[in-house]
Amino acid sequence: MTERGTLMAAEMAEQPTRLAALVGRRKAIMDRVGPLFAKPLAGTVVVARGSSDHAATTGRYLLEMATGRPVASASPSIHTLYGADVDFEGYVVVAVSQSGRTPEIATVLEHAARRGARTIAITNDESSPLAEIADAVVALGAGEERAVPATKTVTAELVAFAMLAASVGLEVSERAWDALASQVASVLGETEPIASLASWLTDAVRLATVARGPLSGAAAETALKLQETSALLASAFSAADLRHGPIALASTGIRVLALAHPGPAAADVLELCGDLSGRGADVKLLGPVPGAVCGWDGSAPEALAPVLAVVRGQQIAFRLATELGLDPDQPKGLTKVTVT
């Protein structure tokens, strides 16, 4: 029997090498996917579930800014349960699945292709059913994930979406691409603040994660990792949405984990943290911003910052689970591929 968390820890540690290899293939990937976004382009639709959907949330921000066209998230049940005949003429549909074998994701992409979409699959398995349907495949090359909570595939998906956006004009410098792997390695090597954050959560019954802009996907993924590994009731909120009804939760003393990175959304998240603290919430801030308890390299462009934020979330989830005596490799009742 292996020690608790051995698989997840090993897969987290692989991320710098795996991401460096993916970044090294960026020109070929961008050359392959870029032409699919050529005009006429009505918009882009992304389809995913779970962790892949959180990567797609970040992807929606990046692609809408890059293409200047609306980006929407598909609801698979419209196709799989209600049998709607949706016209995808003029759209690019991006389907994301770690295994490429989630039936409903493949079903939606197949329908979209039949009804006029240009299709892209982002997957770790080039021979999967999803890959076989798509006009272009972004092969992540992250290697097999044996721990149930996805780690290296998620960060690879985030990089893949940044590449899609860069292929149609989003500016990411060569220096930024080349620095990413070492920035991830630096985050993984900094563990002291993670121990403190895990201790902060050991007796928590509920947590809210919050961000705005491209980091919204990272906030959702951090909440999911804590749900999966520690059975903590964690909910992700947009900083804008939290200002409405959910802000009443602050008066209960709820713990809040906020994520921010230098850019247009940072000031709003920092202001919200102050407001939440003033109302009684117990707030911890992550990111290379004033007041943060722990961060990452602030020189990373906003398009790549979610990768670093997600790794921080992985570290917190892993450490909390092991402190609680749980096995993050095999959370109770979960499997690697979920059929919905």
Whole-number Å distance between alpha carbons of 339 and 30: 31
Return the percent helix, strand and coil in the chain, to nearest 5. 50, 15, 35
The tens digit of pLDDT for each residue in 88-122 reads 999 999 999 999 999 999 999 999 999 999 999 99
Q: What residues does 206 pair with on adjacent strands?
A: 233
Q: What is the pLDDT of residue 245?
A: 83
CB 164 within 8 A of CB 119: no
* 338: pLDDT strictly greater than 80: no
Domains along the chain?
A: 6-171 (3.40.50.10490), 180-323 (3.40.50.10490)
Cis peptide preceding 40, ω within 30 of 0: yes
Whole-number Å distance between alpha carbons of 310 and 251: 28
CA distances from 336 to 57, 99, 122, 329, 332 (A): 21, 9, 17, 10, 12
Whole-number Å distance between alpha carbons of 121 and 274: 41
* 1: pLDDT strictly greater than 50: no
Reported as type and span, the H/E element at residue 175 is: helix 174-189
DSSP summary character for residue 249: G
- Interhelix angle 26-33/15-24, rounded to 10 degrees, is 60
Question: pLDDT averaged over the chain?
Answer: 95
Whole-number Å distance between alpha carbons of 330 and 7: 9
Phi-psi region of 333 (alpha: psi -120 to 50; beta: other; left: phi over 0): left
Least confident of 29-33, 46-50, 190-194: 190-194
What residue type is assigned to position 333 of the chain? G
Q: What residues does 330 pair with on adjacent strands?
A: none
Least confident of 4-8, 64-68, 143-147, 330-334: 330-334
CA distances from 261 to 74, 168, 188, 331, 332 (A): 28, 23, 18, 31, 34
What residue type is assigned to position 148 of the chain? V
The tens digit of pLDDT for each residue in 159-182 reads 999 999 999 999 999 999 999 999
Largest Cα–Cα separation, the chain: 56
Tokens 């117990």 sit at which residue?
282
* 334: pLDDT strictly greater than 70: no
